[in-house]
Structure 1
Amino acid sequence: MILPVVAGILLNGRGGYLLAQRPPGKIMAGFWEFPGGKVEAGETLRQALDRELEEELGIRVNCATPWMSRQFDYPHARVVVSFFRVLAWSGTPQACEFQKLSWFDPEEALPEGFALLPANLPLIRALSLPPVYGLTRAHELGEEPMLAVIDDACRRGLRLLQVREKFWSAVQIACFVQKIRQRTQPWPLRILVNGDPELAQRTGADGVHLPARLLEILKGRPDLPWVGASCHSRTELEQAQGLGVDFAVLGPVCPTQTHPAAHPLGWPEFTALRHESPLPVYALGGLTGLALNQAIQQGAQGIAVMRGLEDWAEEKIPSHLCGQESV
């Protein structure tokens, strides 16, 4: 039996997320989870989410966007959980079912021995991923202008960057990574190197970003803290999932200067593929910072930008994308 379930990830203005402990008398009592519950007959997923959060927390959902769906096998049922990011709500969350509630920081590890439902565990790591993934193009702009763009973007919230200099030598890339590190010390910027796990390790980067051509070749996940992957199809998303990557970039969504002959997916196809994948997925291709809100509404983790990084650096992330209570 497949049991459809919804879960809401409440995000406050400080980036924290809310967990609830299942009360005595419920299946798997004592375990912590994102609030939610079963989808009743005749309900849409969003209707079920609104009802469950009102019953459990006493709030009214004002803004929620689909995020990921994951399937899990429990002793009592096979559960398909549709997770929503709840960005705005009315009221203050209360323990309406006498459950414990607590806010957590995605950048901090859960306490040792913390009993989290297995279906929720992969979401904790994904919550620390930011809404914008920057890509470098120093081979076009020049090294110093690119560093200036990165500086500006970090001041405005950039926290994840891919060094994507495919025409550079390993020595050039290693030196560039070190320069980025030195200039961005005030900010918690994660740096991924494109294409080469060994080079990423040697440079002291936080991870590697795998091009699609490597997804079929690699036999396992590179031994690095963070691994992303470029995907253009359902097959590549499945390969990325099989390798155990942390997130995927899917595109191109719109026409791009870099690959003018590539057929753009468009938002409908992007949304359909994103919905089928249990990975956090960034939208890529012909996007600027102005597309961030649209991408979030389509269930994306956010957007990956290269030429749009300068445009995005002119705008702060809209506050509701970081989570905000509304009363």
Structure 2
Amino acid sequence: MSTSKPYIRVAAGLILDSRGRLLLGQRPDGKAWPGWWEFPGGKIEAGETVEQALVRELDEELGIHATQVYPWIVYVHEYPKSVVELAFCQVTAWEGEPHGRENQALDWVDPWDIRLNESEHPIAPGGGSLLPAATPPLRWLRLPPLYRISQIGSPSQTGDWLTRLRQELLAGLQLVQFREPHWQGDETSLLAAFEATLALCRQHGARCLINSTHPQAWWARADGVQLRATDAALVLQQDTRPPGWLGVSAHNAQEIDCARELQADFVVLGHVLDTDTHPTQAAMGWETFTQLAATAGRPVFAVGGQSAATLETARQHWAHGVAAIHGTLV
């Protein structure tokens, strides 16, 4: 990345209404990239927090007062003439009706209707192009906020696990990780449990990732891979990215750096709170979690003592969502 270009810090809002629609604004004539669509927001002034800057910018641009702002992801994008650090926030509540105070056009769109192309700019439903930095957050929005991690343990418990999982899937769970490092059975029974979990997830339209503790020959069957921190370092050395969605487990800044270099889709960071599974290890707490999550450049799931009850707190601390083995998610 160039060090000679101006470095600009921007707060950008993904404004989402109760129907899940996303508000886009079209850049007016007289500004750079005229006619392109973008997320509302603007430069962070000296002394402002991300949230303060975004609230001010949304008032100036749209005439609304944001009342619920979740800090989400800090992402750096290099344009031809500048380097822009975008602090993306999700805005889910506001006062007033959005309108273009700078004579810019506005449009509410379904994020799933926006075409994402690897080699082109994302295309909005009306046919216009979005700014290049808009592609990653649109993909990230398609990642559910709740992530169930299995802990079946043995073949005799597989039936109970599938019953519980079916109930969660019926209640709306969309992301599952098959992770059985302490399986008390042979490989045949482990494979059967994995295949049953995968089939159930696909029956309900959910994604199922497999943990890298399991044979690499199984990875391509799943919808993606969750790399343990040690495995992520090895994969980075081999320069071979696993297929599908890629998650990386991390516990410190170095492991988050590895996730960034692998261009992982998301990070699972923790453990945040005290848990029975790590009784002798100190939890990092929300302050450390926030500091690390803000450097990841991609969605971060909080793990360790998490459940649906902690989701609101997690989102206030730069988490995309929560991951859990025991906690109730739905």
TM-score, normalising length: structure 2: 0.87
Q: Does 1:102 align with 2:117?
A: no
Q: Does 1:166 align with 2:166?
A: no
Structure 2 unaligned spans of 5+: 1-5, 124-128
Which of 49, 54, 64 matches 1:49? Answer: 54
Q: How many Å separate the matches in 1 of 2:87 and 2:250?
A: 22
Name the residue aligned to 1:180. 197
* 1:1-327 equivalence runs, <5 A: 1-110=6-115, 114=123, 115-139=129-153, 142-168=157-183, 171-185=188-202, 187-195=204-212, 196-201=215-220, 204-218=221-235, 219-220=238-239, 222-308=241-327, 311-313=328-330
Q: How many Å separate the matches in 2 of 1:106 and 1:221?
A: 30
Sequence identity, in percent? 38
Deviation at 1:105, TM superposition (A): 3.1
> 1:132, 1:304 within 8 Å by CA — same for their partners in 2?
yes
SS in 1 for 2:309: helix
- Amino acid paired to 2:223: D
Deviation at 1:8, TM superposition (A): 0.4
Cα 1:217–1:124 shift into 2, 3 Å: same
Cα 1:108–1:174 shift into 2, 3 Å: farther
| 4+ residue runs over 6 A deviation | none
> 1:197, 1:222 within 8 Å by CA — same for their partners in 2?
no
Deviations 1:9-62 (A, max 9, x none): 111223332222212211111222111111234433222211211222221101
Cα 1:71–1:102 shift into 2, 3 Å: same
Larger mean CA deviation between 39-48 and 246-255 belongs to: 39-48
Q: How many Å separate the matches in 1 of 2:247 and 2:219?
A: 12
- Amino acid paired to 2:69: A
Larger mean CA deviation between 108-117 and 7-16 belongs to: 108-117
Q: Which has the higher contact order (CA 8 A, sep 6+)?
A: 1
Q: How many Å separate the matches in 1 of 2:113 and 2:78?
A: 28
- Amino acid paired to 1:232: H
Deviations 1:243-268 (A, max 9, x none): 11100000111122222222211111
TM-score, normalising length: structure 1: 0.87
> 1:177, 1:205 within 8 Å by CA — same for their partners in 2?
no
- Amino acid paired to 2:228: P
Structure 1 unaligned spans of 5+: 314-327
- Amino acid paired to 1:235: Q
SS in 1 for 2:310: helix
Larger mean CA deviation between 125-134 and 285-294 belongs to: 285-294
Q: How many residues align?
A: 309
Deviation at 1:299, TM superposition (A): 1.3
- Amino acid paired to 1:164: R
